[in-house]
């Protein structure tokens, strides 16, 4: 028989034999059942999650955060009720555990009692993370557990966003508070700068005053040193004068005794007239020299009185000035103590600022300020110590000045007494001179004027008595003056030493004031920079925006924008290439069971006619299988494809490819060929990348991917259904046709061999007849 006749006979055998027709008709629906039922069942399972029962146990007890009561567990439950992502069942822990065991719930979500409390531990030394306990019943249904885990992750992210938003709001409130504090701190720093500017002016004036005081103290020291040197000479002169006054007093007393003896020896006067005349001449000469010396002493006494009076007044003014200076030094010492205390307080405040300031630049500035304040504090303490030493020296100087004033006063009184005694002595000496002159002139009348001489001698004796008394007073005054001069010398020496200490202390105080001036200048500049930086910080902190949009930005800083390429709307669409290929392959395999692929309906004229007759039947059934499946998918399940005609064409090509493979295996190997086909089906299901990507399966299986036809049927159907890459689709049709051609050639070779074995004799007999 020719191929067409044989093909018709094959169809007639099918249509007239119910045992074959019914199974063939059933096989036509196998691809429809596989692809249609599977895809219908799993078309969009996530759209029905609201029917999946899930237990929720809320044990959260709430907590306090910044004075506000929070209930994160309760808030989470309210959100779950609003979204209705699953069939939520809000139960107790006992009911939830029991429902899991009885397979009433697919999973359980438990909110612990410390859920809200852990959210408040962010600022603790050991913050605790919030925990959601997720208990899936994986043994009941593994996929539901995976779906639930994804949902719980989403819930966890929502809770984390809510907590972040809460903390962001609290953080921005704190930043605003910090901004207010920085503003106040800036105002305080500005006031500090003003105060330091005043202190700077004061230290400048203090430095100028101390410089003048240093110059004055050095001048005072030099004058006092000169005074001390002069007081030594003055004291030595006074001691010599006192010694001379004692000699004068002794001489006057001797003169007085001699006058008494002369009066007593008046009777012997006449006999010694010549001798007396010579003695009287000598006496006259001596008395003139004494008189001249007394006149010179009398001329010096007013100057001595004036000098001692000036010395007493100057010592009194010096004591008064030192008292006032000591009071001023006490006030300066008190001010220096206050400055030291203020600088120590400022250093403590700078330590607090250093500890509280996170900015490294500001912290470095504060540390530099602290070093300057330390130098100021050290200089201020030096000032305080120098003033204390100066005050102690001033006390010694005041005591010496008081002693000097007392000695000067006594010296002045001695000088007054000396002046009076010298006046009396000078008057008596004048009389003595006159008497001696009269004695010398009247020596010739001595005898005749004895009575007169006697009277004069009485007067001379009286004058000598007065002279002796005056010389005693002079000697006593000079002794007192010498003692006062010693005290003056000692006081002057102590005053000079004190003035040296004053000069040294003043110099140290000047140097300390200079350091204080430099430190105050640095502190003034630093306080100005501090005020400016605090003002800038306050302005920057005030510029920080705080609103719901900002809180949301902190909670969810990244938005995931999904730009889909070749969008697949649901699970059914994504799995159609896989399940349609599976259904067509299974349909081809079952067709080999109900339709004989080896035995011809008649005697084939040639192997080619035999092949064409069998393949023609398979071709018709394969096309019908593909068309039935395509109609159900496109109409029944509303599958959306890029091109319906190309989708149908590719389905038919896929069906023909699988039929050619099954035909080859079953025709060549018989029933073992069907087992080989099942093994090939299993390999294709695992390596075609119809579900999981190829890279996720074991590496040893990946090598089969390129050698099996379902790989290219899946690729081509994905192109015509989802991507619209028709060139890629045609490329895969070409690869499928290679399988078709190779399988057809294999089958034809086998039928050629079998045709020679089975029908060669029959054909020869028919030809001979």
Write the pLDDT tens digit of every residue in 592-605.
Answer: 887 787 777 667 77
The mean pLDDT of the chain is 71
Q: Which residues of 30-68 are buried (b: 16+ CB within 10 A; e: fewer)?
A: bbbebbbebbeeebeeeeebeebebbbbbebeebebeee
Q: Of 594, 611, 262, 643, whose CA–CA distance to 459 is shortest?
A: 262
The model scores a pTM over 0.75? no
User: Mean of the pLDDT values across residues 741-764?
Assistant: 80
**Terminal CA-CA length for the chain:** 16
d(CA 52, CA 211) in angstroms, rounded, equals 95
Q: What pLDDT band is residue 561 in, cutting at 50, 70 and 90?
A: very low
Q: Residue 379 contacts by C-beta under 8 Å, 6 or more apart in sequence?
A: 512, 513, 515, 516, 519
Contact 231, 489 (CB under 8 A): yes
- Residue 745 has which token pair? 């050639």
Checking if the pLDDT of 290 tops 90, the result is no
pLDDT at 268: 65
Tell me, what's the pLDDT at 697? 73
- pLDDT-derived band at 558 (thresholds 50, 70, 90) equals very low
The pLDDT-based confidence of 103 (bands split at 50, 70, 90) is confident
Helix (H) or strand (E) holding 149: helix 142-264
- The pLDDT confidence band at residue 655, using thresholds 50, 70 and 90, is very high
pLDDT at 326: 67
pLDDT, tens digit, for every residue of 662-683? 999 999 998 888 889 888 888 8
As its CATH architecture, domain 48-177 has 3-Layer(aba) Sandwich (3.40)
Find tokens 């100066």 and name the residue: 390
Kindly state the average pLDDT of the residues 359-387: 72
Q: Is the pLDDT of residue 735 over 90?
A: yes
Written as six digits, the tokens of 129 are 């993370």
pLDDT digits (tens, 9 = 90+) for 106-127: 788 888 888 888 877 766 777 8
Mean pLDDT to the nearest integer, 194-212: 66
3-state secondary structure of 656: helix
Evaluate if residue 209 carries a pLDDT over 70.
no
pLDDT for 617 equals 82
Tokens at residue 23, please?
Answer: 């199974």
Asked if residues 512 and 386 have their Cβ atoms less than 8 Å apart, the reply is yes
Q: Tell which wins on pLDDT, 75 or 689.
A: 75
Distance CA 411, CA 487 (A): 10
Local structure of residue 633 (DSSP, 8 states): I
Least confident of 267-271, 322-326, 396-400: 267-271
Q: Yes or no: say if 475 and 249 are a contact pair by the CB < 8 Å rule.
A: yes
**DSSP per-residue string spanning 21-41:** HHHHHHHHTHHHIIIIIHHHH
Task: Pick 406 or 142 by higher pLDDT.
Answer: 406
pLDDT digits (tens, 9 = 90+) for 615-647: 888 888 889 989 988 998 898 888 889 999 999
How sure is the predictor about 535, in pLDDT bands with cuts at 50, 70 and 90? low
Q: Burial of 489 by CB count in 10 Å (0-12 exposed, 13-18 middle, 19+ buried)?
A: buried
Please give the residue that has the higher pLDDT: either 296 or 54: 54
Q: What is the mean pLDDT of residues 297-307?
A: 69
Name the DSSP letter for residue 47: G
Structure tokens at 546: 């705080």
pLDDT higher than 70, residue 541: no
> CB 385: neighbour CB atoms within 10 A?
16
Domain boundaries, given as residue ranges, for the chain: 3-44+570-768, 48-177, 178-542
| Distance separating alpha carbons of residues 363 and 80, to the nearest angstrom | 49
């Amino acid at each position: 028989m020719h191929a067409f006749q044989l093909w018709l006979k094959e169809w007639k055998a099918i249509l007239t034999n119910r045992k074959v027709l019914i199974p063939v008709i059933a096989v036509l629906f196998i691809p429809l059942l596989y692809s249609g039922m599977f895809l219908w069942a799993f078309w969009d399972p996530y759209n029905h999650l609201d029917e999946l029962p899930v237990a929720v146990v809320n044990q959260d007890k709430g907590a306090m955060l910044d004075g506000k009561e929070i209930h994160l567990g309760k808030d989470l439950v309210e959100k779950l009720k609003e979204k209705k992502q699953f069939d939520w069942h809000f139960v107790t822990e006992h009911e939830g555990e029991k429902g899991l065991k009885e397979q009433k719930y697919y999973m359980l979500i438990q909110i612990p009692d410390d859920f809200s409390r852990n959210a408040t531990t962010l600022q603790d030394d050991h913050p605790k993370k919030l925990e959601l306990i997720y208990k899936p019943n994986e043994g009941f249904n593994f996929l539901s557990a995976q779906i639930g885990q994804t949902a719980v992750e989403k819930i966890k992210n929502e809770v984390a966003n809510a907590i972040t938003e809460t903390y962001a709001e609290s953080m921005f409130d704190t930043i605003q508070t910090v901004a207010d504090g920085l503003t106040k701190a800036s105002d305080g720093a500005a006031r500090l700068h003003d105060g330091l500017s005043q202190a700077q002016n004061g230290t400048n004036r203090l430095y100028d005053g101390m410089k003048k005081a240093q110059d004055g103290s050095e001048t005072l020291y030099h004058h006092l040193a000169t005074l001390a040197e002069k007081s030594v000479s003055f004291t030595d002169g006074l001691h010599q004068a006192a010694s001379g006054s004692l000699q004068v007093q002794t001489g006057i007393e001797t003169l007085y005794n001699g006058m008494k003896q002369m009066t007593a020896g008046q009777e012997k006067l006449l006999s010694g007239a010549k001798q007396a005349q010579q003695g009287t001449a000598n006496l006259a000469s001596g008395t003139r020299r004494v008189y001249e010396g007394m006149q010179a002493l009398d001329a010096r006494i007013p100057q001595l009185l004036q000098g001692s009076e000036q010395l007493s007044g100057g010592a009194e003014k010096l004591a008064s000035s030192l008292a006032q200076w000591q009071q001023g030094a006490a006030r300066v010492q008190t001010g220096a103590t206050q400055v030291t205390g203020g600088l120590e307080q400022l250093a403590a405040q700078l330590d607090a600022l250093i500890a509280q300031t996170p900015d490294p630049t500001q912290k470095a500035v504060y540390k530099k300020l602290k070093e300057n304040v330390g130098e100021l504090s050290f200089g201020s303490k030096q000032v305080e110590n120098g003033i204390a030493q100066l005050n102690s020296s001033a006390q010694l100087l005041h005591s010496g000045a008081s002693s000097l004033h007392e000695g000067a006063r006594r010296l002045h009184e001695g000088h007054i007494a000396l002046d009076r005694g010298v006046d009396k002595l000078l008057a008596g000496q004048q009389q003595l001179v006159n008497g001696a002159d009269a004695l010398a002139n009247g020596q010739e009348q001595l005898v005749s004027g004895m009575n007169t001489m006697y009277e004069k001698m009485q007067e001379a004796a009286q004058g000598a008595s007065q002279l002796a008394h005056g010389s005693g007073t002079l000697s006593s005054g000079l002794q007192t003056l010498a003692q006062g001069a010693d005290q003056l010398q000692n006081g002057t020496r102590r005053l000079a030493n004190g003035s040296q200490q004053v000069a040294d202390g003043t110099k140290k105080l000047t140097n300390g004031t200079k350091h204080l001036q430099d430190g105050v200048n640095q502190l003034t500049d630093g306080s100005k920079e501090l005020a400016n930086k605090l003002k800038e910080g306050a302005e920057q902190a005030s510029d920080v925006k705080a609103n719901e949009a900002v809180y949301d930005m902190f909670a969810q800083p990244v938005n995931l924008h999904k730009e889909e390429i070749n969008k697949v709307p649901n699970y059914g669409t994504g799995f159609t290439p896989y399940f349609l290929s599976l259904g067509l392959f299974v349909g081809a395999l079952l067709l080999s069971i109900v339709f004989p692929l080896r035995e011809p309906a008649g005697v084939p004229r040639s192997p080619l006619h035999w092949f064409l007759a069998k393949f023609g039947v398979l071709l018709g059934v394969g096309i019908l299988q593909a068309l039935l499946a395509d109609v159900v998918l496109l109409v029944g399940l509303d599958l959306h494809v890029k091109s319906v005609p190309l989708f149908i064409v590719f389905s038919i090509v896929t069906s023909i490819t699988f039929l050619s493979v099954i035909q080859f295996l079953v025709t060549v190997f018989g029933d073992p060929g069907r087992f080989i086909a099942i093994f090939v089906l299993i390999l294709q299901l695992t390596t075609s990348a119809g579900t999981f990507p190829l890279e996720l399966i074991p590496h040893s299986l990946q090598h089969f991917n390129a050698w099996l036809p379902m790989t290219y049927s899946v690729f081509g159907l994905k192109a015509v259904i989802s991507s619209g890459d028709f060139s890629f689709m045609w490329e895969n049709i070409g690869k499928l046709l290679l399988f078709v051609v190779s399988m057809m050639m294999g089958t034809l070779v086998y039928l050629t061999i079998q045709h020679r074995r089975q029908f060669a004799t029959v054909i020869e007999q028919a030809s001979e007849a």
